[in-house]
Every structure is written in structure tokens, then in C-alpha cells.
């Protein structure tokens, strides 16, 4: 949840209201069906199976399912770290633009 929240905040900071729409597209429209909550990724259609482990939704579901922390935790942490870096970069950019 932190990874998705941080990415949402970063997209909103970088792109304004459009960033929220991008986040909804990625994590809700694409992430929820590919998450594999009801079915294992192996039985999902090919497109959803391909993106399942590349989004936090699928990685988190698979991690909980396995109850063993593995490479999926690294994926979730990577999304969170990228969002934090984007937020820091955006803050620096805004401060430079303000000071002129």
C-alpha cells in the first residue's frame, strides 16, 4: 500500500491531477485484474499474466500467498524508492523555479 500511495503522490506532484488518472489507470485498471488474487497468475490470460508480477498488486498478492519474502518485496521497495526519488526531484525543481 505504501508503494502505491507513494507513486500516486509522486505522480500527482509531477503531473498534477493527470497524475492521479495515470495512477488509477496503472494500479486499478491494469493492476487489479492482473493481481491474481482470485486465481494464480498461471491461469490468467497471457496479457494479465505478463504484467502480474511487474505491478505491486500482483507482487503483493503473490508474496502474501507464498508467505515467504522474496524478490517481490524488492519490487515493492523499488516502486516506493522511485516514488521518493521523484518527490525529492520535484521538490528541488519547484524550489529552483521559485527562487528563479
State the pLDDT at residue 22: 93
d(CA 69, CA 58): 14
65 confidence band (pLDDT: 50, 70, 90):
confident
State which residues form the domain around 16.
2-99
Q: How confident is the model over 7-18, as a mean pLDDT? A: 90
How many domains does the chain contain in total? Answer: 1
Least confident of 32-36, 41-45, 62-66: 62-66
Q: Work out the mean pLDDT of the chain and round it to a whole number.
A: 84
Closest among 62, 60, 90, 97 to 77, alpha carbons compared? 60
Identify the residue whose cell numbers are 491531477: 17
- Given this model, what pLDDT does residue 31 score? 85
- How far apart CA 80 and CA 15 sit, in angstroms, is 18
Amino acid at each position: 500500500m505504501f508503494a502505491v500511495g507513494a507513486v500516486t503522490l509522486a505522480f500527482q506532484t509531477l503531473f498534477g491531477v493527470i497524475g492521479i488518472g495515470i495512477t488509477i489507470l496503472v494500479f486499478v485498471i491494469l493492476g487489479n485484474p492482473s493481481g491474481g488474487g482470485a486465481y494464480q497468475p498461471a491461469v490468467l490470460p497471457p496479457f494479465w499474466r505478463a504484467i502480474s508480477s511487474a505491478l505491486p498488486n500482483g507482487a503483493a498478492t503473490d508474496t502474501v500467498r507464498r508467505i515467504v519474502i522474496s524478490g517481490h518485496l524488492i519490487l515493492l521497495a523499488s516502486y516506493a524508492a522511485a516514488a521518493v526519488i521523484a518527490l525529492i526531484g520535484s521538490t528541488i525543481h519547484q524550489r529552483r523555479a521559485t527562487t528563479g
